Amino acid sequence: MTASSESVAGLDPAALESFLANALSEDLGAGGDVTTAFTIEEGLRLRAEIASRQDIVVAGLELAAAFFSRLDPQVEIDRLVADGERVAAGAVLMRLEGEARAMLSAERSALNTLQHLSGVATLTRAYADAVADTGCVLLDTRKTIPGLRVIEKYAARMGGATNHRMRLDDGVLIKDNHIAMCGGVEKAVRSAKASGLEVQVEVDLIEQIEPALGAGADRLLCDNMSPAMLREAVSLVAGRVPIEASGGVRLDTIRVIAETGVDFVSVGRITQSAPAADIGLDYSPAS
């Protein structure tokens, strides 16, 4: 998916407003930030500094800033890095100055989002670096937290991955359950060709490849194949269609998989299992 110039972390203005409203409603509830309301003097201003406590790839900085701006439209924000940049531990990502109550109330939602997306981008970058110079393209998957797919796939892009299907209507991917229920791979592929979309077929045996290609498959997804099987598949296909490898891909195995000659390798864990980045926020009174 290509984000528009007006999007924030892949969210268009309407989607951004909905995301901010839902996240803040979840955190503030009906009564608002009661701790801040009872302990922080109205009108007090704070300065804040958001910094990384580990080496990371940044993602979600604009989205984090949007939380503060929504609760204090006059907040002053100085972004010191951009999404997609690698930064070292200790790097300051953003400085803010604004109304204390608003900043304290927005803090958790902003940090949670920034930490999660930067975690996705950082793990993705490790996988992308592992296949650098092999000619193989790293793909993400639909293994995302429901409701967060757009921003998680945005973070994967910031880390160096290419987005696969965003939604089920983006393309046809025939898997083993479709084949079993439809009555065979040939019938499934021929039926799906009527969609007018690219038809990708999942295969986990070498013997399934020729029937899929003979029926008109535009792309193959070789699932849970060993490197030896992938090399055999690449040789058999001989460039007729692109080949994607998937299934249990880990950081210590992805390069071996990429070097088999497949065109793509998809990794669910970059969005499904990425640990949050260690990013902190420190306050000081505004002068």
Annotated active-site residue 187? The verdict is: no
Residue by residue, pLDDT tens for the chain (287 residues) are: 444 457 999 999 999 999 999 999 999 999 999 999 999 999 999 999 999 999 999 999 999 999 999 999 999 999 999 999 999 999 999 999 999 999 999 999 999 999 999 999 999 999 999 999 999 999 999 999 999 999 999 999 999 999 999 999 999 999 988 988 888 888 999 999 999 999 999 999 999 999 999 999 999 999 999 999 999 999 999 999 999 999 989 999 999 999 999 999 999 999 999 999 999 999 998 87
Domain of residue 57, CATH code? 3.90.1170.20
**Which residue among 86, 143, 165, 231 is the active-site one?**
143
Of the candidates 99, 123, 93, the one whose C-alpha atom is nearest the C-alpha of residue 280 is 93
Do 279 and 250 share a domain, yes or no? no
Please tell me the distance from the alpha carbon of residue 97 to that of residue 189, in angstroms, as a whole number: 58
Range of the domain at 252: 162-266
Instruction: Give strand pairing partners of 61.
Output: none
Q: Is 143 a catalytic residue?
A: yes
Say whether both 97 and 177 belong to one domain: no
Query: What is the reported pLDDT for 5?
Result: 53
Note whether 280 and 260 are same-domain residues: no
Is 32 part of any domain? yes
Same domain, 38 and 121: yes
Catalytic residue among 170, 223, 232, 278: 223
Domain membership of residue 3 (yes or no) is no
Q: Are residues 259 and 280 located together in one domain of the fold?
A: no
Asked if residue 6 belongs to a domain, the reply is no
Asked whether residue 142 is domain-assigned, the answer is no
Of the residues 33, 202, 244, 263, which is catalytic? 202
The 3-class secondary structure across 102-128, one letter per residue, is: HHHHHHHHHHHHHHHHHHHHHHHHHHH
Examine the domain organization and report whether 123 and 214 are in the same domain: no
Q: Answer yes or no: 240 catalytic.
A: no
Predicted confidence at residue 245, as pLDDT, reads 98
Is residue 5, in this structure, part of any structural domain at all? no
Query: Has residue 24 been placed in a domain?
Result: yes
d(CA 206, CA 223): 11
Q: Which of 175, 190, 231, 269 is labelled catalytic?
A: 175
β-strand partners of 162:
139
Which position among 47, 108, 165, 231 bears the catalytic label?
Answer: 108
Number of domains making up the chain: 2
Nearest to 174 by CA among 166, 83, 183: 183
* CATH code for the domain in which residue 232 is found: 3.20.20.70
Q: Are residues 17 and 123 in the same domain?
A: yes
Rounded to a whole number of angstroms, the CA Rg of the chain reads 23
pTM: 0.94
- pLDDT, residue 257, reads 98
- State the pLDDT at residue 97: 97
Q: In what order do the strands lie in the sheet with 279-285?
A: 76-79, 92-99, 45-52, 279-285
Does residue 228 contact residue 256 with C-beta atoms inside 8 Å?
no
